[in-house]
Chain A
Amino acid sequence: MAGPLSDHTPEGSGGYRGLVGALLLPTWIAIGVFLVLPVALMAVYSVLTKEFRGGVDWQFSLAAYDQFFLNRGLFGDEPPVLEWTYIAIFLRSIWQALLATVFCLLIGFPTAWFIATRPAASRGIWLFLITIPYWVNLLIRTVSLKFLIRDNGPLNEALIGIGLIDSPLPLVNTNLAVQLGLFYSYLPFMVLPIYAAVERYNFALSEAAADLYASRWVTLREIVLPIVRPGIVAGCLLVFIPSLGAFLAPDLLGGAKTFMIGSLIDEQFKGSLGNWPFGAAVSMILMTLVMIALLVYARSAAKGEAA
């Protein structure tokens, strides 16, 4: 799987050379007007003044960013100190997304490897089995997971039934449940790019390493991992980015203590308690983080291709 930022489309023939503008116009309008322009407007909204019924006053103000980063005391007259409330929510979200990514990698890599080493005929079926859950409604998957792991749910009943535990494990509303939800939501994203990388791996290299008395695990660490690294990096990114801004898993499986960026943004647009400029500012900060991650990835991918 090519990285999300690299265009490997061959330029091909020019049979439709004269029509390019007309053919691309609908795309430019659809995405330009209904995505690029809205994101630009969002940037503008983040530096406007909050209106109390939800919405904005067209009055320049940095209050939203000020609220995010600085604490000026209850009445706003104290010298500003760094405000930790929202930074803590971001750090927690990054931490949760990182843990979900690590879990996905630990399970996803062996799975991808196993599938890529099946006979060619059965690989398609295995891959299909991995991708099906991705196409099932994310909300339904999250609700199903909540049903499975809730206090009186089938998982706890089964564990008590076989005598592993005496009282139900309180899983719902914990960090663990949120990580499990993120892991479950995005696991296929980890498997697919790693699979694509392992499928292209030349196993003669492993055989050469084995001939030189390297053990399996040494070969994995020294030979395989460096070669399939681009697939691993792409998989990690595809899990990390959606996890960072996830809304459903933290909202349904977590509680007040597991509040993440998605819920913070969502709150700003709900009813009269909301704060549109602040919501727009938080969205801008989230998008900046994601863009930085993508740029770092694109640069490392470009370096990998040059090497």
Chain B
Amino acid sequence: MMLNALYSYITIGLVTAISMFLTSYRPKSEFGKAIDEVLYGKRSWHYKLREAMVIPGAIVLIVLVWPIALWMLAADRLKSRAQTQQKNPEELFAAQQEFLKEKLTIEQIEVRELYQDPLRITPNLPFGHLNTAWVEFKLQLQNGDELWSFVIPQNQPMGLHALPSNAAMAGYAIIRNKKIAGEFVCEANGDY
């Protein structure tokens, strides 16, 4: 009887451990390996041995105490779901309500965003070399949406991590139900 219960416990533990491994294991990318080598050089044999023991060790541990592992997994999932629900979708954008300047139509924007240059080589299209991205951005527009220009001053904390902008940024935002639902940055120093 006791032996049967032990076998059942270990079987459930094995299934749990293997399921967790299959759903969460990601092999280290080539980029990750290169970064590791740049930062730490060639790793010692005992480091490599310890690294190789992590996954088998974790599997053994989960088999032994799988109820705790399942409880930790469930608590983690609940916590991240709660955090996602709390997150304000507007925080994802560089543009915030306070930086909005002017409500404009697509036609008004496309006239003001034609660029001239001394060599006359910039495409004569709205947003010049960014035209393809602008056309894709317009596809996000829904009935009832508004387009507003925005300007973000230099050194303004912005985004989820409140990092300061390293130069003034400008662009256009989609306003849906009075909230920012999309943005197109067309002037900046960096990748936005």
Q: Are A and B a genuine interacting pair, yes or no?
A: no
